[in-house]
Amino acid sequence: APGESKTYTYYADPFNGEISSLVWDWGNVMLNPRNGLFGAVIIGPKGSQYRDPKTGADISLKNSWEADVIIDRTIPGQENRKNYRDVALLFQDEDNIIGTSFMPYVQNVAGLTGVNYRSEPYPHREETGCTLGRMFQPCEVDNPQDPVTPIIQAHAGDPVRIHVFGANSEQNGMFSVEKHEWPIEPFMPGADQISVVEFAGSETIDVFIPSAGGVDQLPADYVWNNQRLPYSQSGQWGYLRVLPKNDQRILPLEGSASGVKQASIDPVEAGRVLPVAVK
């Protein structure tokens, strides 16, 4: 009834392991999810703590699209796991015509599109001074502005886990992160590396990037987007902002940041699987 609320406690069965699930409002499934009544439940490693990447505040019982996952390494099987950056991207669209056998061919996406209730369409950026060749760069050199879509932040070399949701979609999408590859099976040694993955409406995909900034851990702004160009044009794109390891805009995942260089080899890094592009 109006004004009432209920509290639900869910049990994360160990059989299912680490998993991401989409939450919809079923009061009117044809309309309410389109209007934004959707969310997600993300189950992480057992015993983990979840903190705000900037303040360090405990957000385990709060709602957030981004969190640092701090692993409890005292739990058997998790002794060698690394802490990681965790984010959720919820895609939505409502065009059921584009890409189908329909004449004349449709070039632009119709209706609502967005990621986490935000959109950064090309036409808007052109109005603010961007040319097509600089679409992913600041439109005003003297007054650079970030896109309104989610900006994922990580230090160079940080593991990053991106949960991609087809939250309310009429079409399949193709998720990609510029200059990054990830294993098709994140916990399988020797798994094939991919750089783009398809997702459908109501589907959940986990993208586990082993090293922000790629193999060479290079700080930069990398574009994540829907690789179907009309959807990128309609605003489904943003940045993976890879910061230098000592950058204080976010907290380090492991201990305190240090500028001291050490001549040592990480045994995990030494045995890592090389991306397809460098084999």
Q: What is the pLDDT of residue 257?
A: 40
What confidence tens digit (pLDDT) does each residue in 109-125 have?
999 999 999 999 999 99
What confidence tens digit (pLDDT) does each residue in 7-23 have?
888 899 999 999 999 99
Q: How far is CA 89 from each of CA 44, 73, 137, 240, rounded to the nearest angstrom?
A: 16, 27, 21, 12
Q: How far is CA 170 from each of CA 25, 88, 146, 200, 276, rounded to the nearest angstrom?
A: 17, 20, 28, 8, 32
**Pairwise pLDDT comparison (101 vs 3), residue with the higher score:** 3
Taking residues 250-268, what's their average pLDDT?
A: 57
Above 90 in pLDDT, residue 131?
no
Distance between CA atoms of 68 and 23, rounded to whole angstroms?
Answer: 22
Classify domain 14-255 by CATH architecture.
Sandwich (2.60)
Side-chain-facing half-sphere of 35: CA atoms under 13 Å: 8
Is-above-0.75 flag for pTM? yes
Q: Is-contact 84 162, C-beta < 8 A?
A: no
> Of 47-61, 75-89, 117-131, 253-267, where does mean pLDDT reach its minimum?
253-267
The DSSP code for 103 is S
233-272 CB burial, b ≥16 within 10 A, e <16:
bbbbbbbbbbbebebeebebbeeeeeeeeeeeeeeeeeee
Spans of all domains in the chain: 14-255
